[in-house]
Amino acid sequence: MSTDIFLSYSHQDSDIMAKLRADLSRAGFSVWTDEGLEPGTASWQRAIRRALREARCMVVILSPDAEQSKWVEIELGWAERFGLRIFPVLAKGEFDDAVPFSLVHVQQVDIRTAYENVEIALLPTLQRHLGVAEPVGDAEVREEMTHPMAFDWVPIPAGAFRMGSDKTQDKDAYDDETPQHSVAVADFKIARVPVTVAQFAAFVDATGHRTTAEKEGSAQGWSGKEWEVIQGAYWAAPRGPESHVRDKVDHPVTCVSWHDANAFCAWATEMYRAAGQQIEIRLPTEAEWEKAAR
């Protein structure tokens, strides 16, 4: 019999495990834990392997105790061997003390100071991954999607504007920006700020999307003087393997291609429709972007 979630944790974090298990169960998921089993025994190992084979994903509670736990390490190793999707929940401690190397580049749900992130970020991601509907009591249509997919939309009225540049007024204008000309644009809405790292991470978590940079093994970055190819760079490590975006989740996502951006838009459209909002999210045209910027 399959289980939705294998919940991995250090027994030092049993209080957090019990609360999270209750919330996951209340959201409609079936959850397995090793509560009542003696870690390391033959019966424990058999039960763990069987439970992982029957689980559809793993949620692991991260803390300094969990990072030091050989039992959590064993469970993570088996989960990876069985091909399970792993959803980390950062519950205690500093990042470097709580997150194992194998999960450094996996987006975590941080509940250290905001347990409500379980409901805001973890539950919707699991519901999309597992196809489990929200409980009837929580299924009301939202007027606006919540974090991390909420956009601050700015309405741009229809009308004509002067597109391009006039070299008599802008000596640094490129040739393909001239001559300046009138362009009429229908009304539309545009997000006030670019797509953030947190929003793109939610997309990757939900879909498993691999970006162009990840496939090619590099991305372009600005050195301060010129564009350069950075080996190993991608959206979660924009300056190469030694970099990270853990403290920049509200910054614009970088190292994404046109194909990645379109894939994000298609997914975001489906997320809005699932929330009862029949809108299409797409990239702006060049004329739309310039009018909005002006």
Same-domain check for residues 280 and 165:
yes
CATH number at residue 27: 3.40.50.10140
Report helix angle 123-130 to 197-207, nearest 10: 30
Same-domain check for residues 134 and 182:
no
Backbone phi, then psi, for 87, in 5-degree steps?
A: -115, 105
Among 138, 161, 194, give the residue marking a domain's end: 138
Same-domain check for residues 93 and 164:
no
Same-domain check for residues 161 and 281:
yes
**pLDDT digit of tens for each residue in the chain (294 aa)?**
689 999 999 999 999 999 999 999 998 999 999 988 887 788 888 999 999 999 999 999 999 999 999 999 999 999 988 888 999 999 999 988 999 988 877 778 889 888 887 887 788 888 888 876 544 333 332 333 334 466 778 899 999 998 888 888 888 888 888 888 889 999 999 988 899 888 888 888 888 899 999 999 999 988 888 999 999 999 988 988 888 887 777 789 999 999 999 999 999 988 888 777 788 899 999 999 999 998
Cβ atoms of 93 and 69 within 8 Å: the answer is no
Q: Cβ of 185: how many Cβ atoms within 10 Å?
A: 19
| Token couple for 149 | 């997919």
pTM > 0.85: no
Which pLDDT tens digit goes with each residue over 88-139?
999 999 988 999 988 877 778 889 888 887 887 788 888 888 876 544 333 3
Same-domain check for residues 17 and 111:
yes
The per-residue pLDDT for 68 is 95
The per-residue pLDDT for 12 is 95
Same-domain check for residues 152 and 294:
yes
Domain count, the chain: 2
Among 79, 106, 138, give the residue marking a domain's end: 138
Q: 41 in the Ramachandran plot: left (φ > 0), alpha (ψ -120 to 50) or beta?
A: beta
Q: Are strands 85-90 and 109-110 parallel, antiparallel or unpaired?
A: parallel
Same-domain check for residues 203 and 182:
yes
Beta bridge partners of 283: none
Same-domain check for residues 98 and 156:
no
Expressed as residue numbers, the domain containing 269 is 143-294
Same-domain check for residues 118 and 200:
no
CATH number at residue 251: 3.90.1580.10
> How far is C-alpha 288 from the geometric centre of its chain's CA atoms?
27
Among 91, 119, 138, give the residue marking a domain's end: 138
